[in-house]
Structure 1
Amino acid sequence: MGLPIYIQIHNEIKKKIELGKWRVGEKIPSERELSVNFSVSRMTLRQAIQTLVDEGVLERHVGSGTFVARQKVQEKMSSGVTSFTELTEAQGKKPSSKTVTYMITAPSLSETEKLNLEDKQRVLRMERIRYADDLPICFEVATVPYDLVQEYDRNQITKSLYRALEDNGLQIGHAQQNVSAMLASEKIADYLDIKRGAAILRLRQVTFLGNGQPFEYVRTQYVGDRFEFYLEK
């Protein structure tokens, strides 16, 4: 299966940034100009840009445009890895999920890099809204190598990927996490039942199995006043 058009554009923009066409802190061309250059609709171009924003490659400045993101100060979080399901249950709440998309496809350039994929490997990319006691907490885009989960039932994966892996004898190892603040887009605001422009927390995480193999690249956007991260030193 070929790459969706917006992912192809995502890859091209990311390559241009890596090659130095646009440098850190530099404003990239407007959506109108880029949509003409790539011969696509504004909607498709905007989807590609939003994917790069979600990954922390680009950042939007209200009223000014879109810029190549500056590196942010990082705080090392506790090395333990806990799934959303386990975390929610530990708080005495009932976890649930709504699957928005579930797609087996070729990986984007970012997904290939984060998951250390080989040529022609496919991935499972799923978008989910995660709930605690039926209240939407976050919107999540998770990507895993398809050959790792192809024998699993879809319901197992969408309900709790970590439990599905552990039930099949795999050990969850450590994770690399980046947390930053951003404003909710119209799409995310609709999914999470908040106002557009509301404060949200963005988590980007690569999770590893016990043997050091990266198995999950996830981009999650949490409602700012419904979730908090706890740091332990």
Structure 2
Amino acid sequence: MKKYEQIATEIERKIISGEYKDFLPQQKDLAYEYKTSRVTISHAFKLLKDREIIRPVKGHWTKIKSKNISKILIDSDANKSNGFTHHSLGGGVVKSHIISFDQRIPTEEECQALQLKKDDLVYDIIRQRLLNDVPAKLEYTIMPVKVIPGITEYILHNSIYGYIRDNLHLNFGKANRIITAEKSDAYDMKYLECSKDDPVLCVRQIKFLDNNIPFEYSETRNKYNHGSLTIYDSK
């Protein structure tokens, strides 16, 4: 994660916790606080603005668009059924909620992971999984449009892997995974109902087709009491 992304996440966490109310501190003050340049703080502000968390106002101030983002988003999701897909899993019901779905230019890190050119488009997908109405997983998925064309919200609400296999007639290959334990970030607090210092099990992976072309760069985040991994020794 880049410096400005780390700062944006920390600012968002402070907004949710109520440390920042109504307006953010001025950029020069935040640059001093985070021991960085105003350019870096400006990039962090742009990221928060793109997420519709803040908006600039006259007089060089920055307005916080909601003082209670976490509660607003969780309550609004809990009170509506539109946007959720239901599946059965064992004795429980899994709901899949598409938080965001868009196409954009990839970052440098994504270009490297997916072997893309800087002007290739990618799908940017964020989904929330609930088990028996309890938030269980938060999934960030990046896929190259030129490798997996034609993805729609309808496909996301059904089976994206089924679409890749049955409609695009592509076969899956290996996956490289990195497993870490991290503190919760702002989105974990929103969509996994994490507290500020709750640990999160994070699985980052790059998935390949059987021809060794990478087709997915993803991160799955599980609250500490809602996720586990079983790893088998191949020997």
User: What does residue 135 of structure 2 align with?
Assistant: 136
Cα deviation, residue 118, structure 1 = 2.6
**2:204 aligned with 1:204, yes or no?**
yes
* Paired AA for residue 204 in structure 1: R
Helix, strand or coil at the partner of 2:227: coil
| Equivalence map 1:21-60=2 (5 Å) | 32-34=34-36, 36-38=38-40, 40=42, 43-44=45-46
User: What does residue 189 of structure 1 align with?
Assistant: 189
User: What does residue 221 of structure 2 align with?
Assistant: 221
Structure 1, unpaired ranges of 5+: 1-5, 11-28, 48-84
User: Closer, same or farther in 2 for the Cα pair 1:39/1:133, shift >3 Å?
Assistant: closer
Cα deviation, residue 133, structure 1 = 2.8
8 Å CA contact retained: 1:140, 1:220: yes
8 Å CA contact retained: 1:162, 1:172: no
- Distance in 2 between the 1:31 and 1:44 partners? 18
8 Å CA contact retained: 2:3, 2:40: no
User: Closer, same or farther in 2 for the Cα pair 1:31/1:180, shift >3 Å?
Assistant: farther
8 Å CA contact retained: 1:8, 1:108: no
Helix, strand or coil at the partner of 1:201: strand
| Equivalence map 1:20-169=2 (5 Å) | 32-34=34-36, 36-38=38-40, 40=42, 43-44=45-46, 91-168=90-167, 169=169
* Paired AA for residue 181 in structure 2: A
Helix, strand or coil at the partner of 1:204: strand
User: Closer, same or farther in 2 for the Cα pair 1:109/1:229, shift >3 Å?
Assistant: same
User: Closer, same or farther in 2 for the Cα pair 1:31/1:96, shift >3 Å?
Assistant: farther
- Distance in 2 between the 1:111 and 1:100 partners? 20
8 Å CA contact retained: 1:32, 1:42: no
Structure 2, unpaired ranges of 5+: 6-30, 50-84
Helix, strand or coil at the partner of 1:97: strand
User: Closer, same or farther in 2 for the Cα pair 1:154/1:203, shift >3 Å?
Assistant: same
With structure 2 as the length reference, what TM-score do the two structures score?
Answer: 0.63
- Distance in 2 between the 1:220 and 1:210 partners? 22
Q: Quote the RMSD (CA, aligned, Å).
A: 3.0
* Paired AA for residue 34 in structure 1: T
User: Closer, same or farther in 2 for the Cα pair 1:30/1:179, shift >3 Å?
Assistant: farther
Larger Rg: 2
- Residues 85-113 of structure 1 show CA distances to partners (whole Å, capped at 9, x for unaligned) of 9xx86645333211111110000011100
- Distance in 1 between the 2:120 and 2:182 partners? 32
8 Å CA contact retained: 2:4, 2:44: no
With structure 1 as the length reference, what TM-score do the two structures score?
Answer: 0.63
Cα deviation, residue 135, structure 1 = 2.0
Cα deviation, residue 228, structure 1 = 0.2
- Distance in 1 between the 2:152 and 2:44 partners? 37
- Distance in 2 between the 1:109 and 1:164 partners? 28
- Distance in 2 between the 1:166 and 1:114 partners? 22
The size of the alignment, in residue pairs, is: 171
- Residues 115-162 of structure 1 show CA distances to partners (whole Å, capped at 9, x for unaligned) of 011342110011111222332111111000012333233221354321
Cα deviation, residue 202, structure 1 = 0.7
8 Å CA contact retained: 1:202, 1:220: yes
Helix, strand or coil at the partner of 1:149: coil
Helix, strand or coil at the partner of 2:146: helix
* Paired AA for residue 223 in structure 1: K
Percent identity reads 22
* Paired AA for residue 217 in structure 1: Y
Helix, strand or coil at the partner of 1:111: helix
